Amino acid sequence: MAPSVERPVAVALSAGADSTALLLSAQRLWPGRVLALHVNHGMQTAASGFEERATQLAHHLGVPVRVERVSVQVEPGQSPEEVARRLRYQALACMARQAGACTVLLGHQADDQAETLVLALGRGAGLPGLAAMAPVFQRHGMRFGRPLLSMGGDQLRQWLKAEAVRHVEDPSNMDLRLARNRIRHVLMPAWERCFPAYRDTLARTARHLAQAQGLLDELARIDLQQTGSPPSIAGLQALGRERQANALRHWIKGESGQGPSTAQLETLLDLLDRCRTRGHRIHLKVAGGWVDRVDGVLRWTPPV
């Protein structure tokens, strides 16, 4: 994935091993065109140390660095990690845009990809979750890329050691109360003993699932061209329930940036099925906002 030759490329730098290796390799590949972006969530006592190390590393490499501090406000029922992740992408996109960057590179690697797929399986996720992490995607009007998905974390750490470049270790990565850490430290070592090539095979599975999800997205776009956007109730009712679900999931994600939960989507489909009179009301909390019937169409509005 080669960024535009005219514009700078940004690297999301946490100061951990993966993003440190990414910044080092990017600076060698595109000298003078790279900038580092650091987001401080302030969610742990080590956060100030991460920010200081990220700034030091960028200065050592002669790379300009921007830092954004965000406040993570969590509503009841929300995941702090998910809220922090959403704020992080918003901050990265904003900083990159202000710097005129064409792309933000992320340090996710092969172990992260395998853990993401297994975590999605454990949560009973659908295809969007099982497709794991896309190598290239758009969010908040910015292009993001993950160029390290084919490399394992051990490879990156060995390279940094050979280059004598230090990185920080996030102490929260050892907290086994977190599901991802239990997968990393308990499940994956056992999986590796049974299937030594599990990183490659899980990555291949994720690519197959991503292809299937791509076809569903294409079908959703075709159906939404027929129903309109926002979608008309009559147009949705002309589709089978599975295609209604696929179209609604695609539409809601496009409006809100996140997909509806299974329970929310099933409830919305039931309401849609019963919506046969002019006075039938739909008002349902979905994906952090509200889906309402407005005349003959559905509209999603963010929370006030």
The predicted-structure confidence for 69-114, as pLDDT tens digits, reads as follows 887 776 666 677 777 888 899 999 999 999 999 999 999 999 999 9
Residues 120 and 241 in one domain: no
Q: How many Å apart are CA 57 and CA 32, to the nearest integer? A: 15
Q: What separation in angstroms does the CA of 128 have from each of 118, 259, 273?
A: 13, 9, 25
32: which 2 tokens? 């003078």
The greatest distance separating any two alpha carbons of the chain, rounded to the nearest whole angstrom, comes to: 70
Q: What separation in angstroms does the CA of 207 have from each of 3, 114, 139, 194, 266?
A: 22, 12, 20, 22, 27
In a domain, residue 281? The reply is yes
Residues 124 and 271 in one domain: no
Position 278 scores a pLDDT of 79
pLDDT exceeds 80 at position 150: yes
Position 11 scores a pLDDT of 97
Residues 188 and 271 in one domain: no
Q: What separation in angstroms does the CA of 95 have from each of 68, 88, 135, 141?
A: 8, 11, 21, 12
Position 41 scores a pLDDT of 81
Among 62, 63, 7, 61, which residue's Cα sits nearest to residue 37? 63
* CA torsion, ordered 154, 159, 164, 166, to nearest 10 deg: -40
260: which 2 tokens? 């509806």
Contact between residue 296 and residue 235 where contact means Cβ atoms under 8 Å apart:
no
pLDDT exceeds 80 at position 67: yes
Q: What is the CATH number of the domain that holds 65?
A: 3.40.50.620
Total domains in the chain come to 2
Residues 154 and 69 in one domain: yes
Q: How many Å apart are CA 105 and CA 82, to the nearest integer? A: 20
Residues 232 and 179 in one domain: no
Q: Where is pLDDT greater, at 258 or 114?
A: 114
This model's pTM is above 0.95? no
Residue 272's pLDDT band (boundaries 50, 70, 90)? very high
Q: What is the CATH number of the domain that holds 290?
A: 3.30.465
Position 238 scores a pLDDT of 96
Domain of 271?
Answer: 228-301
The 8-class DSSP code of residue 7 comes to S
What pLDDT, in 10s, does the model give residues 192-222? 999 999 999 999 999 999 999 999 999 999 9
- Say which amino acid occupies 82: E
Residues 247 and 186 in one domain: no
Strand order in the sheet with 289-294: 283-286, 289-294, 297-301
Residue 242's pLDDT band (boundaries 50, 70, 90)? very high
